[in-house]
């Protein structure tokens, strides 16, 4: 028996979420529907211009860990915060979700990371992230016994921005594979793919990563093509399993010559897409670590994504396990 189903590793970020119109994005030179890295000065400027906001613990991999736990899975998380108010909020929230989290906080400077997320009327989110303390994550934060005791270790592509995190991820991969476990990653963002395309491909082709999550745009960016069918064939050849989300069309799962096209779960209202990809990964990995077939894994992922799209904030406010039972998925 393993202690954990899924260990996730990522940037520990507190999300500050506010609504705005498209003109606000234009006036403030914010790239719509992307994750924009910003410095402390710009973080202060954007914060001063935000309307009423909701603060919620976030970070891509943190959201995924919370989602796995919400389904009833055993989840753990590695991510760095500072010894400040936002750091305390982050640690409290993820532990309250039932996630194992013991990463040591690092002083008071740089402060805990925060992402100012502007949600437009179409539900699209534009993220402006000051990485702060989370860039301090390094090999010393890898709890070897946790990695060895997790069925799948999952990390976000955003971790390739802070250099020492790369060492931590490679250590996790070494430990995981030495113990017969699997490694998984999400490509995170098409701009992130553009920065690290060759390194991401090497992680996949070398077998460092077994399971890859991407959305349609990220898959196209990875292979520098406009041909989605071509991208699917290439990603199927480069990793053990790839789960590619396709927005309102659902997801395509490929494993070698196998392919599963799974429709999106219906939603009543598209409120906020923040965390949709993170929660898809949570549902998929929960199903995968419970021994479910790939099609069922994708259905669980689509359900979790649909639920989080219908609310403000990246962590579901309702029980995913109850919802899965309601729809006959558990």
Q: What is the pLDDT of residues 71-83, one digit of tens each?
A: 999 999 999 999 9
Confidence of residue 328 (pLDDT cuts 50, 70, 90): very high
> CA 249 → CA 18, 49, 122, 212, distances in Å?
27, 35, 17, 19
Residue 35 belongs to a domain: no
Tens-place pLDDT, residues 148-205: 999 999 999 999 988 899 999 999 999 999 999 999 999 999 999 999 999 999 999 9
* Mean pLDDT (whole number) for 46-74: 94
Domains of the chain: total: 1
Residue 95 lies in a domain: yes
- The torsion defined by the Cα of 100, 70, 315 and 37, in degrees rounded to 10, comes to 40
Which pLDDT score is estimated for 193? 97
Q: Tell me whether residue 46 is in a domain.
A: no
Is 43 within the bounds of a domain? Answer: no
Nearest-angstrom CA–CA distance, 161 and 153: 19
Q: What range defines the domain where residue 73 resides?
A: 4-11+59-106+139-327
pLDDT at residue 197, rounded to an integer = 98
Kindly tell me if the per-residue pLDDT of 257 is higher than 90: yes
Instruction: Say yes or no to pLDDT of 211 above 80.
Output: yes
Q: Band the pLDDT of 207: cuts 50, 70, 90.
A: very high
Q: Is residue 36 in some structural domain?
A: no
Per-residue pLDDT at 273: 87
- CATH of residue 287's domain is 3.40.1190.20
pLDDT in tens, 116-142: 999 999 999 999 999 999 999 999 999
Going by pLDDT thresholds of 50, 70 and 90, the confidence category of residue 314 is confident
Q: Is 42 part of any domain?
A: no
In a domain, 182, yes or no: yes
Tell me the whole-structure pTM to 2 decimals: 0.93
Counting Cα atoms < 13 Å in the Cβ hemisphere of 71 gives 32
Whether 317 is covered by a domain: the verdict is yes
Nearest to 116 by CA among 17, 19, 11, 188: 17
How high does pLDDT run on average in the chain?
96
**pLDDT above 90 for 312:** no
């Amino acid at each position: 028996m393993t202690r954990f189903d899924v260990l996730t590793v990522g940037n520990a970020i507190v999300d500050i979420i506010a609504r705005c119109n498209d003109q606000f994005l234009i006036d403030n030179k914010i790239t719509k529907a992307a994750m924009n890295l910003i410095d402390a000065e710009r973080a202060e400027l954007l914060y001063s211009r935000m309307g009423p906001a909701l603060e919620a613990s976030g970070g891509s991999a943190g959201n995924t860990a919370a989602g796995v736990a919400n389904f009833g899975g055993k989840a753990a998380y590695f991510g760095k915060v500072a010894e400040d108010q936002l750091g305390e909020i982050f640690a409290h929230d993820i532990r309250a979700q039932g996630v194992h989290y013991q990463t040591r906080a690092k002083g008071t400077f740089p402060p805990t990371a925060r992402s100012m997320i502007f949600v437009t009327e179409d539900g699209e989110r534009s993220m402006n992230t000051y990485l702060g303390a989370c860039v301090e994550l390094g090999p010393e934060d890898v709890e070897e016994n946790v990695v060895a005791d997790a069925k799948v270790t999952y990390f976000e592509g955003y971790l390739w921005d802070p250099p020492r995190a790369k060492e931590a991820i490679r250590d996790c991969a070494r430990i995981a594979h030495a113990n017969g476990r699997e490694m998984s990653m999400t490509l995170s963002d098409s701009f992130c793919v553009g920065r690290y395309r060759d390194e991401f491909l090497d992680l996949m082709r070398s077998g460092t990563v077994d399971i890859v999550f991407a959305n349609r745009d990220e898959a196209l960016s990875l292979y520098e093509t406009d041909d989605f069918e071509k991208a699917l064939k290439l990603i199927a050849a480069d990793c053990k399993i790839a789960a590619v989300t396709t927005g309102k069309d659902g997801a395509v799962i490929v494993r070698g010559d196998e392919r599963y096209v799974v429709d999106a779960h219906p939603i009543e209202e598209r409120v906020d897409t923040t965390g949709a990809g993170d929660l898809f990964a949570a549902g998929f990995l929960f199903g995968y670590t419970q021994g479910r077939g790939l099609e069922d894994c994708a259905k669980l992922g689509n359900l979790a994504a649909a639920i989080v799209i219908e609310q403000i904030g990246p962590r579901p406010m309702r029980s995913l396990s109850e919802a899965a039972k309601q729809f006959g998925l558990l």
